[in-house]
Structure 1
């Protein structure tokens, strides 16, 4: 094997690992008493790779001060510091002349026992210019997903996909074997990434790029759970790496200078570092790691727990699944529960209790007899993923507590760089008001001004953001299915739901406690708005062509909804522009009921509003229903006939007959991801009021939508029935198949591999073409299910394809089990 060089990327801050990384770069976090990067250096040395570059950005002095020249480990270390962020590949390119021969890139904050020789031989055998080390992962959302052909050649990849974009369960480990010429695509000092920038260019230019799939151990220690699990895996000897310490009995490793009382109980597997004292009657293990110079008091008990160096653990104290950083003092009779973390230099005094999931930042003190139920910095602990497909929802005072809502408000306000206000709105139910007030407190704590809009439907909140030129908004509403459940939606400055990257920013802020706090004098007063409904109605009238013509014709409309407020707002608007309106409020609105009323009362049309202010279904004078996809078609047709200069925007799952509408009117069709935020933000791409803004209004603002539809019908002397008669005919089916989360990536990959490339479309999920039409298999964003969408050339073909792909997915699920 040729001699090659290595680059260790060691610039990680480890924000999701805080408080472990508050004063420590992520590569220096200890795994079995050694920095994780040290395990990587030892692995390279065992494979005779000794010329190593280290790229650094965050606290580089900690890394260089520990490893120095690398002589102690038998390697030669060369350090390169980024003054400004350069991206993953940019940091490697920053090593300049070091990259003069084949080199391997590894991460300084992942643990692996990869057989480097085998991976390098694979690279050489295939004459590859870039080889990505891959492995299979059941739930691949936090990684880059890669698919290769039968020979291992990379044919597609995507960085950190949503479930709809998962087309494989094979992930990118971030370990690469590269030829130096591939780095010439960019210049030294440029900011660029491997997965986002370099690899797509190599793929596009058909440069040989391969994926080496390994079963060897690999784990990124980016969060607390994998950090703990990696230690447990080493203790269980699932990782082929030396412990570097004598094993005094099966599963018990103790380093030199440590004293263990004869009465102490060591339950394997256990690791204890140098110069420790383990006092009488203490119980250590299983799965406990103790660093150097630690003292464990009499009758103490530790299970599934990690102590770093120079810690004191008091008598009769207990730790269960805790990580305790260096120089921490734990008093007597202290209880530390699962997933708690104690930051460096903290003091936990006697008889204290630290509850499950609580994190304590460095240099904090917990007084005697205290019970800590919140993080000792701010708020309560947060889940890593809190967003569903378009909102955050949960049971009041269980999933969504006032404490959590306060932190949410603060996290959302913290992501904005500019000064401004945030709209906080919602209905007036008790639970909603409780959460709104908590959100407002969080927003105020960052120095951002809250504008509280009372008794407000979601489209009104969208309108308020634009009307008051706000940074964004948060809308809270009671869930219609349960009085004890609330939904929270986050909106951007255009009134659309925030995209996925902003959701991730909020989630990361929650996890890392990266909230911006203001001083007392910077706290802004709350502005309360009680009369928005008036301005909301008046603004809609500005979008209408001729209100006087509507008043002359006095069209008669029948409305029904489960929401009294929605009916009142819609009635007020329609009457003010000259309509005659009859309404019916019911807890279970029925389209059949509307059909009967429209037929009997000779209404122009009937409308069912879903109570959320957004969704609208129509019934014409002939009793025909227009809802869901047909409603989407209807409003697009209306705008085209109005002569609006628009792109036709539709989700990827929508029937492809939509393209025919675009061809007829010579308009471009733009497909988006299926989540509502993607559709909304595409429609609101331009700041000015255009046809696409009207498309947004008609699809996400039922009350304004009614006004625009009435205005169009009257001023063009056309009935709803006539407009419906122009809708295209198509044959479309939907089906849902339950599955396990871990099966999603595997099944999508199998479907890709067994179909020809020319028959596939991988924009979201996998669309498979067929002579009878097409089928789209899409993993659900929120639920453990596959969604099947099919379109056929006729009704029979659509059903056949639905049955075919349903059975295909079910068969693959069954075969795996």
Structure 2
């Protein structure tokens, strides 16, 4: 069996983190999101993978290459125009042999569910449940069959949603050729499922675990979930008088300096220096070539590669891009005074604690304060002693 993974989109809701990379290459638990998916597909027994690429496709091709180092064979197909999921799927038609698994590239699934799906007769749609079905394609199910599908309804008929994982055979391509443009100006895969639903052919498979990584704060939820499963692996150097409690993955060439206190689960990448006297709290993932310095506290955050947080800083419940530098004393707030859910750009994160989303190459002067729910664009420069709040565009100078 083959697997098709759709990874061509930018992920505009993830900006500024997707300014220079596709959404599927955002890191979760020390690996690109797409790598977790590919490894689960492999472990489910599928080694022939077609990845549909587009936006910043070079980063995907460079990271995964032929797929051999991940135990799979990867073939890339470029979607030249971003014209919807059905258009993306049509690009792989010449390479499909028979039955295939199709996955959106921006979600977290369990290997066991993929194994169960491919044992079913096609066509199959994976489903999940949510407390906010109005944000997704809502389905109704009777006797394990999908009976209706409605996209982003203001009055959902159920809390069961289309999870973006399918089992198809080559018959789907004949259906795709009959599609017209949707009201959004795209060719929608969900429109192609109408015939299957009307004929009572589309089987529903309820996933045991499903996480849609649609917004930056969803990365924290997914990261927390993945970190719960790690086992300690210490490939770097831990100096004397370091306390480690819980699980820790420490990459090659990394050093944890004296006086540092780590509460796992945490991941520290390769060639990263932590300490002296730093405090890493549960849920923290630090990338490669980073510096987490003296008297720095980081809690439940994702720090991308090449970022420096060197002196007297606090980062809580935040997602920080690559190549950033925090001036001494710069801190990120992560809790509202009324303890209500934090909003970013007017949209609720659903989280009582959330700090900020910071793009790549953001430089802070000393003693800056970043307010809860801030989003700071890539390439921004922040002057010393500055309060940063709200939505900041890329390459802004904040004084």
Q: TM-score, normalised by structure 1?
A: 0.43
Find the residue that maps to 2:384 and give its secondary structure. Answer: coil
Structure 1 residues 250 and 62 mapped into 2: Cα distance closer, same or farther (>3 Å)? same
Alignment of 1:668-679 (within 5 A): none
Q: C-alpha separation between the residues in 2 aligned to 1:137 and 1:376?
A: 31
Is the Cα–Cα contact under 8 Å of residues 44 and 111 in structure 2 kept in the other structure?
A: no
Which residue among 116, 119, 123 is the counterpart of 1:118? 116
Deviations 1:61-82 (A, max 9, x none): 2211221111111111111112
Q: Which runs of no fewer than 5 residues in structure 1 stay unpaired?
A: 379-817
Answer yes or no: is 1:192 the counterpart of 2:187.
yes
Corresponding residue for residue 91 of structure 2: 94
Is the Cα–Cα contact under 8 Å of residues 145 and 171 in structure 1 kept in the other structure?
A: yes
Deviations 1:445-477 (A, max 9, x none): xxxxxxxxxxxxxxxxxxxxxxxxxxxxxxxxx
Q: C-alpha separation between the residues in 2 aligned to 1:244 and 1:48?
A: 27
Q: C-alpha separation between the residues in 2 aligned to 1:229 and 1:10?
A: 21
Structure ranking higher in helix proportion: 1
Structure 1 residues 189 and 140 mapped into 2: Cα distance closer, same or farther (>3 Å)? closer
Answer yes or no: is 1:53 the counterpart of 2:50.
yes
Is the Cα–Cα contact under 8 Å of residues 314 and 333 in structure 1 kept in the other structure?
A: no
Deviation at 1:110, TM superposition (A): 1.0
Is the Cα–Cα contact under 8 Å of residues 90 and 189 in structure 1 kept in the other structure?
A: no
Corresponding residue for residue 168 of structure 2: 178
Deviation at 1:188, TM superposition (A): 10
Q: C-alpha separation between the residues in 2 aligned to 1:168 and 1:307?
A: 37
Q: C-alpha separation between the residues in 1 aligned to 2:61 and 2:179?
A: 22
Answer yes or no: is 1:202 the counterpart of 2:231.
no
Deviation at 1:102, TM superposition (A): 0.5
Q: C-alpha separation between the residues in 2 aligned to 1:209 and 1:192?
A: 20
Structure number with higher relative contact order (C-alpha < 8 Å, ≥ 6 residues apart): 2
Corresponding residue for residue 214 of structure 1: 207
Deviation at 1:286, TM superposition (A): 2.1
Q: C-alpha separation between the residues in 2 aligned to 1:306 and 1:276?
A: 14
Q: C-alpha separation between the residues in 2 aligned to 1:371 and 1:198?
A: 50
Q: C-alpha separation between the residues in 1 aligned to 2:179 and 2:132?
A: 35
Say which is worse superposed, 367-376 or 175-184, in terms of deviation.
Answer: 367-376
Deviation at 1:243, TM superposition (A): 6.9
Deviation at 1:283, TM superposition (A): 0.8
Which residue among 364, 371, 376 is the counterpart of 1:360? 376
Answer yes or no: is 1:308 the counterpart of 2:301.
no
Find the residue that maps to 2:217 and give its secondary structure. Answer: helix
Q: C-alpha separation between the residues in 1 aligned to 2:11 and 2:232?
A: 26
Q: C-alpha separation between the residues in 1 aligned to 2:55 and 2:172?
A: 27
Is the Cα–Cα contact under 8 Å of residues 260 and 277 in structure 1 kept in the other structure?
A: yes
Structure ranking higher in strand proportion: 2
Is the Cα–Cα contact under 8 Å of residues 125 and 203 in structure 2 kept in the other structure?
A: yes
Deviations 1:89-117 (A, max 9, x none): 22112112212211001111111124211
Deviations 1:574-620 (A, max 9, x none): xxxxxxxxxxxxxxxxxxxxxxxxxxxxxxxxxxxxxxxxxxxxxxx
Is the Cα–Cα contact under 8 Å of residues 105 and 175 in structure 1 kept in the other structure?
A: yes
Is the Cα–Cα contact under 8 Å of residues 2 and 46 in structure 2 kept in the other structure?
A: yes
Deviations 1:28-54 (A, max 9, x none): 111112110011111111122111111
Answer yes or no: is 1:342 the counterpart of 2:358.
yes
Q: Number of matched residues?
A: 360
Q: TM-score, normalised by structure 2?
A: 0.85
Alignment of 1:397-416 (within 5 A): none
Deviations 1:292-341 (A, max 9, x none): 11111111111122111011102111111121111111111111122312
Q: C-alpha separation between the residues in 2 aligned to 1:319 and 1:330?
A: 10
Deviation at 1:85, TM superposition (A): 2.7
Alignment of 1:473-512 (within 5 A): none
Corresponding residue for residue 386 of structure 1: none
Corresponding residue for residue 319 of structure 1: 315
Which residue among 269, 283, 288 is the counterpart of 2:284? 288
Structure 1 residues 306 and 75 mapped into 2: Cα distance closer, same or farther (>3 Å)? same
Corresponding residue for residue 133 of structure 2: 140
Q: C-alpha separation between the residues in 1 aligned to 2:392 and 2:364?
A: 12
Q: C-alpha separation between the residues in 2 aligned to 1:143 and 1:84?
A: 23
Q: CA RMSD in A?
A: 2.0
